[in-house]
Amino acid sequence: MGRMQILACQYDIAWEDKPENFRRIDHLLRHVAICPGSLIVLPEMFSTGFSFNLKAVAEEPDRAAEKYLAQLASDTESCVIGGVVTHDLSGKGLNQALAMGPDGKALSRFTKLHPFSPVGEHHHFHRGHGPEVFSWQGWRIATFVCYDLRFPEAFRLAAKQDVQLMICIANFPAKRDHHWRSLLVARAIENQCYMLGVNRVGSDPNASYCGSTLLVDPLGHIVKDAGKEPGVINIDLDQDNLCEYRKAFPVLRDRWMI
C-alpha cells in the first residue's frame, strides 16, 4: 500500500496581506526536502487570516491565492491544500479548502459546512453542502474547515466513503486549544483514520492562536505536534498500518445510523 509525505505549515498569518503570507510560506519551506507526490497543507484563509472583509480576502478577480497554491504544487510536484475565499452568486463569501494538483487543476474544492455563528461568520459566508473526498497517491482524503471539527456527523459522512486521511485546516483560537486537541483525537478514533489538524500561530485583530498543528493516528495517539511556534511538521504516513488496524478491529462495520 501507499506511503506519503505530508508537510503541515504553521505560521503567523499577516493580516489581509497576501504577498507577505506567500513570502512567509516560502521561507518556511525553503530548507525542507519535499519529495514529489507529497501533500503540503496550509491553514484556513492561509493568505489573509480569518477576516470577513471580502474585498481583501476574496479571490476575484486576480485569484492570487489560488495561483500561489497552483505554483507551489507545480514547483514541488505535490498536492497543496490551503484555505481560500470565493464568492457565490449572491455575493456572499465561501470559506473553502482548496486542494490543488501539480498540473494546476483543483482536485477538490470543499466549502466550510458550519460558518462560525458565535462571531457572525454566517452573515458573510454561505455554508457548503457536504463533504468532499478526493484521491492522492492512493489515499482517500477529505478536507474540513475549523468549526466543522465540532460536528462529528460531517466526518462520519466522509468516513462512509472509505476516507483514510481527514484534514481540518483552521484559525482555531488559543483559548480553546484543549477543545481543538481533544476533538482531533476524537475524530481520528471514531472514524478509524488519520486526522491532521493544521492551525496558525500569532494573533490578528480579533484573537490569539496557539498552533498545535497535530497528526493523530487511528488509535488516537498524537504522532506529531508542531507546538506553539512557526514551523513545518514533516510526516511519513504508511497506509499498511491503517489497513491492518481496521482489519483487526473493524468498528466501522457496526455503525447503524450515519
The catalytic residue positions are 44, 112, 146
Residues 6+ apart with CB under 8 A from 198: 8, 9, 10, 41, 42, 43, 167, 168, 169, 170, 213
Residue 11 is classified by DSSP as -
Edge-first strand order for the sheet with 214-216 is 133-136, 139-145, 165-169, 194-198, 214-216, 222-225
Sign of the alpha-carbon dihedral angle for 152, 157, 158, 163: positive
214-239 in b/e burial notation, b at 16+ Cβ within 10 A? bbbbbeeeebeebeeebbbbebebeb
Q: What are phi and psi of 20, to 5 degrees?
A: -65, -40
Residues whose CB falls within 8 Å of the CB of residue 114, separated by 6 or more in sequence, listed in order: 127, 147, 148, 150, 151, 154
Do the Cβ atoms of 149 and 116 come closer than 8 Å?
no
Sequence-separated (6 or more) residues with CB below 8 Å from residue 138: 1, 2, 4, 239
CB-side exposure of 103: number of CA atoms within 13 Å? 3
| Segment (H or E) for 236 | strand 231-238
